[in-house]
Amino acid sequence: MSIASAPMAPPKPIPALARRAGALKGRVRVPGDKSISHRALMLGLLAVGETRIEGLLEGADVVATARACGALGAVVERGGNGAWNVHGVGVGSLLPPDQVLDFGNAGTGTRLMLGVVAGHPIEATFDGDESLRQRPMRRVLDPLARMGAEVLAASEGGRLPLRLKGARDPIPIEYMSPVASAQVKSAVLLCGLAAPGETTVVEAEATRDHTERMLAHFGADIRVALHGERGRRITIKGRPELAPRRVRVPADPSSAAFPLVAALIVPGSDVILEGVLVNPLRSGLLVTLKEMGARIEELDRREDGGETVADLRVRATMLKGVEVPAARAPSMIDEYPVLAVAASFAQGTTAMRGLSELRVKESDRLAAVAAGLAANGIEHEIAGDDLIVHSKGRVAGGAAVATHMDHRIAMSFLVMGLASEKPVAVDDISFVATSFPGFVELMKKLGAEIG
Ligand code: S3P
């Protein structure tokens, strides 16, 4: 059965243009990590009592998750001091929502919350914007169906909008995830929280582990073992009583990537990015840029709220092309658009391998990046799932890039415009607010010309 309804009207497009100016200088902190913010709210909902979250990303994606937590029974409030408090109801005690859970542009919020709802005997309708309605949901619905959840209605291919009926008695399973996706892993683990016995997810390639870390932080019984060369085997014991916790959200490395690459390609730049999460499962971009010769120093590496953070000092560098192996993709999956921009300013060829997952992000990022490179005069090719950029260290620029409701495409090409010969325009920066509110202001504070 399908659920017919028109998506909410998208916000009015806001075009923007970036041009070359002087060197970027200064010390800034980008907003909180998006992945950790979603998870902190959801575990706050699933703990009994008051969880306090400092540094929560106040982007539209996370605000949608906060609202959904409210609709499922939590009281979610922003305190005067900027911290968020979540009064949770506990595993097994979610309320049936009396409104559609609208996740806007957010794949993470949707897929993780599908897992949460799947473990409870309630029904909920999930929806989102035009971009989210295109994105595959079967990858989470299939394992959740094995655990006893039922899709009552959905759009073609199991896409949003969809209505899910959670299981009264979820079945613990062992699931070998066919895609390297932290969202799939997390959905199964979150549903497993409500199941009696042990639920296991096996992943051939380790993906970001924030769900595992945060579940442990909230007192769940969770074990992680290595699996094969690069994989993990994660087991959660169901039906714990989660204890409310204090969470401090570090600065998002996927957002830091934009001023970071900008500082590398704008001559004379010297920038410090404070408190950035340097979890190895999120650090593929740093590894790659260092291989390209980037001058990036990690200052004051420290533990903060169960994660490792560092201040990153970044100085302009003439980069060189490198080979980026497919095995690195899970640790930098969101960073390829801005890496393609860095590669456009490098000397030589950068080959990025194994990017099939980029086709199912907020937009088809492989196509969107290739179109933006072509428009701005950068020689490149797509060979199967690989993107190969050939550069002589200079970018003509001068084009307008279509962003396809995708925040990271918008930010990546604005970064390009800061160092290209002619300015680069993007058709819409309204979606930047999903993950990086204040992006333009932060870049301007460093000396960028974006308007
Ligand atoms: C995320 C996982 C990744 C990433 C997304 C955030 C998460 O998606 O692209 O931005 O928080 O779990 P996949 O799990 O689909 O790779």
What's the pLDDT at 305?
77
Ligand 1 and 334: CB distance under 6 A: yes
- Do residues 24 and 85 both lie within one domain? no
Could you give the dihedral angle defined by the CA atoms of residues 313, 315, 321 and 324, in that order, rounded to the nearest 10 degrees? 10
**Is the CB of 198 within 6 Å of ligand 1?**
no
Residues 151, 256, single domain; the answer is no
Is 97 part of any domain? yes
Asked if residue 8 is part of any domain, the answer here is no
Residue 245 lies in a domain: no
pLDDT of the residue at 6: 64
Number of domains in the chain: 2
51 & 169 share domain = yes
Ligand 1 site, residue 333, Cβ cutoff 6 A = yes
Minimal-distance CA residue to ligand 1 atom 5: 108
Query: What would the pLDDT profile of 274-305 be if each residue is shown by its tens digit?
Result: 999 999 999 999 999 999 999 999 999 999 87
Domain of residue 186 covers 34-237
Question: What local confidence, expressed as pLDDT, does residue 304 receive?
Answer: 85
Give a yes or no: residue 11 inside a domain: no
What pLDDT score was predicted for residue 306?
82
- 334, 386, 427, 428: the active-site residue: 334
Specify the DSSP class assigned to residue 121: S
Does the C-beta of 211 come closer than 6 Å to ligand 1?
A: no
Instruction: Examine the domain organization and report whether 82 and 28 are in the same domain.
Output: no
Nearest atom (ligand 1) to Cα of 211: 12
- Sheet containing strand 231-237, strands side by side: 174-176, 198-203, 231-237, 222-227
- CATH at residue 390: 3.65.10.10
Index of the ligand 1 atom closest to the CA of residue 333? 9
Atom of ligand 1 nearest to the CA of 181: 14
Q: For a substitution probing ligand 1, which of 110, 181, 335 has the most ligand atoms within 8 Å of its CB?
A: 181
Given 203, 237, 271, the domain boundary residue is 237
**104, 144: one domain:** yes
First vs last C-alpha separation in the chain: 46
Q: Does 420 lie in the same domain as 320?
A: yes
Q: Is 108 in the pocket of ligand 1 (CB under 6 A)?
A: yes
Q: How many CB atoms lie within 10 A of CB 341?
A: 33
Asked if residue 208 has its Cβ within 6 Å of ligand 1, the reply is yes
Residues 381 and 425 in one domain: yes
Q: At what angle do helices 182-192 and 34-46 cross, to 10 degrees?
A: 10
Cα 166 to ligand 1 centre (Å):
23
Q: Are residues 210 and 150 in the same domain?
A: yes
Q: Is the CB of 37 under 6 A from ligand 1?
A: no
Domain match, 256 and 350 both = yes
**Index of the ligand 1 atom closest to the CA of residue 361:** 9
Average pLDDT across the chain, whole number: 97
Sheet holding 386-392, edge to edge: 323-324, 347-352, 386-392, 379-383
pLDDT score, position 321: 98
Closest-CA residue, ligand 1 atom 11, reads 35
Please say which residue of 205, 237, 269 terminates a domain. Answer: 237
Which of 237, 266, 296 is at the close of a domain? 237
The pLDDT of residue 7: 64
How far is Cα 378 from Cα 380, in angstroms, rounded to an integer?
A: 6
Residue 5, domain member (yes or no) = no
Q: Determine the Cα–Cα distance for residues 389 and 346; give it in Å rounded to an integer.
A: 9
Q: Which of 62, 333, 409 to mutate to test the pocket of ligand 1 (most atoms within 8 A of CB)?
A: 333
State whether 388 and 423 are in the same domain. yes
**Residue pointed to by tokens 């291919």:** 157
Contact 413/398 with Cβ under 8 angstroms?
A: no
Both 222 and 261 in one domain: the answer is no
In a domain, 50, yes or no: yes
Do 120 and 267 sit in the same domain of this protein? no
Is residue 334 flagged as an active site residue?
yes
Query: Does residue 422 sit within a domain?
Result: yes
Cβ within 8 Å of residue 370, ≥6 positions away: 380, 382, 387
Question: How far is Cα 267 from Cα 340, in angstroms, rounded to an integer?
Answer: 18
Whether 105 lines ligand 1, by a CB cut-off of 6 Å, is no
Which residue numbers in the chain have pLDDT < 70?
Answer: 1-8
Mutate to test the pocket of ligand 1, among 103, 138, 183 (most ligand atoms within 8 A of CB): 183
Answer whether residue 242 is part of any domain: no
Structure tokens at 18: 């970036």
Distance from the alpha carbon of residue 53 to the mean position of ligand 1, in angstroms: 21
Ligand 1 neighbourhood includes 35 CB (under 6 angstroms): yes
